[in-house]
Chain A
Amino acid sequence: MTREACHPAVVVSTAGLDTLDEYRRLTWRRRGLVALLLVLALASALTDFVSGPSSLGVADALRGLFDAESLGRGQRVILWEVRLPIAVLAVLVGMALALAGVEMQTILGNPLAEPFTLGVSSSAALGAALAIVLGVGVPGLELSWLVPANAFVFALGALMLLQLLARTHHAGPETLVLFGITIGFAAGALLSLLQFVASEDALQQLVFWTMGSLARADWTNVGLLAAVLVVTMPFSWRAARRLTALRLGDDRARSFGVNVDRLRLWALVRASLLAATAVALVGTIGFVGLVGPHMARLLVGEDHRFLLPASVVCGALLMSLASVISKTLVPGVLMPVGIATSLVGLPVFLALITRRHRRR
């Protein structure tokens, strides 16, 4: 067989070349959008950093960021041990939840999939509750680490159970989502049971945990989540084209040479790690895993080379804004950030939905 026979010379008309130029411009516009969102997220993180209940002025805070020696000891602690970890953790949690959300949505072909809907968050809450209420959990840990460790183990366990169910039942994506919802309900029921038997003190702690809070942020937390992101993101990036292929259906993706089962498995592993770590560190936080990817999808489409980074920066922006709002909505009170994400997420989500319907 002559190879040329199958490779006729590529001939493209000038109109076609113009279309390709237009496509090039589109990709640059998307890169620009991602960059813009990144700048906004950084600006939001900076706002997060300079705002807070203490008497520190904006100028002092900014100066302290670059020259820690210019501050008094108390102020230095507030800035470097409280505000900065919170601002950074907010960004990282947003990134992690949005990346987990977008990968889950793609591999399950379901725009509603996210750590929350797949039962990951409720399972994590169940794990946390076991530690808080009964003191049961991963052995050999002091209480401050017992809760996140337990939450992590349960979140990961839920996703492994999900994977196991999918394997043994040869479940398609729809069934997988249903399994996830079932796990979520089961964990939710057990959580209620624990709440029912919990002491007043434990109950309050538990409620606070399930609301999601950045108050526990410190450099260890930041380092942990950053490490998980650094490990998982390159693999997500590398899978971008294969994930795009999956949006055209399993059969098409397979015939393009994509190993669909392996892609699904590893994407779920990545999403599990990200979601489990984030939830373990800050408690259950809804909406970011859903709204971040949706915003990104409307802005840059579903070519995952753009959708993945766009989702990550959208998640960071939303979460950081939520952190700012949780500090400033009621002056002097640090509201649980989980409440704020819903407050930020809901209007954004509604705006996106209605805008999309208008465009149709």
Chain B
Amino acid sequence: MSTTNAAPALEIQHLTVSYRSHTVLGDLSLPPLLPGQLVALVGPNATGKSTLLRALARLVPASGQARWDGQDLLAMPAAALARTIGYMPQSLPETAALNVLEVTLTAMQARDLPAREEELAAMAVLERLGIDDLAMRRLDQLSGGQRQVAALAQAIARDSPILLLDEPTSALDLRHQWRVMDTVRRLADSGHLVITVLHDLALAAQWADHILVIHRGRLHACGTPQAAITPEMLRTVYGVEARVQRCERGRTMVLIDGPAEAPPA
């Protein structure tokens, strides 16, 4: 435990993850990430965004350092880790003969709450995400988007200080995207640290206060949406010629003109 009164921070230093001989994340160091922040992790396909989240959730072995509040995330007991990190995988949940409420309750087992309290907390999360009407509906009777929101409910219901979300909006329509991002934003505002992978840069720019651009397993750029999302970044990282327009209310628009002349370095 840290002895200072400073707010806890997620500190990631020299994180390295390899699948067999293939190194996906090489010596990745990030600036300290703080509670209250909504951090968007962006970057092209297969650059290691999911791998970073999986390493923090200890689903793949990693070397290096990941510390939260003075504790080593890579070594803490599994139950403590489950109380610290709520992780939402990229894949949709498998279908099982369980309804959305049961699935949410199952996700909360590390919290060890009395049954009634647990049920109330789960229901509150479903209402917050606007899927309370699906509570008694079975997982295999949901649409892809509904399953994705149910998956998010599983991560949120854990009430962990850190939330790792892997593309929580990829299957959602505009209204549900908004609802999910709004919920996630509120969670950050209430003191959680939310790290979410997003492919939609406009969504990232609108909601995140911090953007991390990952390119080929390294941190390419980081900062506010204004600072991180630039035509140069889009050219080198994504290999596209693009214009970035700042609109009213601080919104950002990314207009893609076409592939860059030279393929990304």
Q: Which chain A residues have a beta carbon within 8 Å of chain B's beta carbons? A: 1-2, 5-8, 10-13, 15-17, 19-20, 22-23, 26, 109, 241-242, 244-245, 247-249, 251-252, 254-259, 297-298, 301-303
Contacts and interface: CB of A to CB of B under 8 A. Distances in A.
A7 B157 CA distance: 11
Best-buried of A10, A17, A26, A297 by chain B (most CB within 10 Å): A10
B59 A251 contact: yes
B11 interface: no
A302 B83 contact: no
8 contacts: A19-B136, A242-B109, A245-B106, A247-B98, A249-B94, A251-B57, A301-B97, A303-B98
B204 interface: no
Given A5-B35, A241-B106, A255-B87, 9 more contacts: A5-B190, A6-B159, A6-B192, A17-B123, A19-B101, A248-B93, A252-B154, A257-B82, A301-B102
Please report whether the interface of chain B is mostly helix, strand, loop or mixed according to DSSP.
mixed
A301 B95 CA distance: 12
A12 B127 contact: yes
B69 A1 contact: yes
A302 B132 CA distance: 20
B168 interface: no
A11 B35 contact: no
A242 B94 CA distance: 16
A283 to B, nearest CB: 32
Contact of A20 (B81, B93, B123): B123
A302 B99 CA distance: 9
Contact of A22 (B136, B160, B190): B136
B81 A257 contact: yes
A355 to B, nearest CB: 14
A249 B103 CA distance: 12
A185 B86 CA distance: 43
Interface string B203-220: 000000000000000000
A326 B144 CA distance: 48
Nearest to B161: A6
B121 A10 contact: yes
Contacts of A256: 82, 106-107, 109-110, 158
A7 B94 contact: no
Given A255-B85, A256-B107, A303-B98, A7 B132 contact: no
Nearest to B116: A20
Given A1-B8, A6-B191, A23-B119, A259 B78 contact: yes
B135 A23 contact: yes
